[in-house]
Amino acid sequence: MIIVFVGAPGSGKGTHARRTAERCGFSHVSTGDLLRDAVDKDTPLGRKAHEFMAAGKLVPDEIMMDLIGGLLDGSDGGEGIIFDGFPRTLAQAEGMDELLEGRGLKVDKALLVDISEDEAVERLALRVSCPKCGAVHNLASNPPKVEGVCDECGGKLEVRPDDREETVRARFKEFRRLTEPVIDYYRSQGTLASVSTSGPVEEVAANVAAALDACGGSPNESSAG
């Protein structure tokens, strides 16, 4: 079972992708986390990606396809994979389909996690995340138990450099220009479901589970929340 989570910055796609992976026993592949880790470790991939990320731009497709191709080479699809933040362009979606087809796999479900730009800017101004395990907190709606400390692993919580308002607005522009065609692509394939992420996190989590028919049911256009 392969599920992709598509969502604008601040939509909560990372939080809900991670929770869904845990609930369903699937692996969770966040390209944003992989790239941030590569930047922190100053690897060749990190050096290539850093400038694009800091400017709120997408990392070029060739770099992303190499990353995903390498990941799929090391995996048989197992119980299931949740892709979080990939694909983000039409070329990536088509390239992914080719890579999967060669391995006898396909995207079973695409979930659009929907949010308005102003709400995303507001939400990201309050977001802190853990660079060690990827857990995310909102200082207003979901604060950590101990200030500055990750509930999950005890790591030090940080504000992401690309969560400043002007960078968030730049990331939103990239989302509209480059990622909205991906949504149309999955809609035309009949694999798209969508949820709105306005509302309390538990309510959204229930809507995500319903939209995915628990852990990815029969493909049909549906909308929850």
Which backbone phi and psi does 98 adopt, to 5 degrees? -65, -45
Measured from the CB atom, is 13 or 109 closer to ligand AMP?
A: 13
46 vs 144 by CB, closer to ligand AMP: 46
23 DSSP 8-state letter: H
Footprint of ligand AMP on 79-108 (CB under 6 A) = 85-88, 92
SS3 138: strand
C-alpha–C-alpha distance, residues 55 and 162, integer Å: 8
Tokens found for residue 173: 């522009």
Binding mask 29-58 for ligand AMP (x = CB under 6 A): --xx--x----------------xx---xx
Strands (E), the chain: 2-7, 27-30, 81-84, 109-114, 127-129, 136-138, 192-196, 222-224
* Residue 127 annotated as catalytic: yes
Residue of 13, 18, 36, 109 with catalytic role: 13
> Does residue 120 bind ligand AMP (CB under 6 A)?
no
* Min CB(218)–ligand AMP separation in Å: 26
Of residues 36, 88, 164, 169, which has the active-site annotation?
88
Q: Which is nearer to ligand AMP, 23 or 57 (CB)?
A: 57
Q: Which residues, numbered 155-174, are part of the site for ligand AMP (CB under 6 A)?
A: 162, 171
SS3 state at 26: coil
Residue 107: count of CB within 10 angstroms of its CB: 21
Longest dimension (CA), the chain: 47
β-bridge partners, 3? 82, 109
Active site residues: 13, 88, 127, 160, 171
**Where does this chain bind ligand AMP (CB under 6 A)?**
9, 31-32, 35, 52-53, 57-59, 64, 85-88, 92, 162, 171
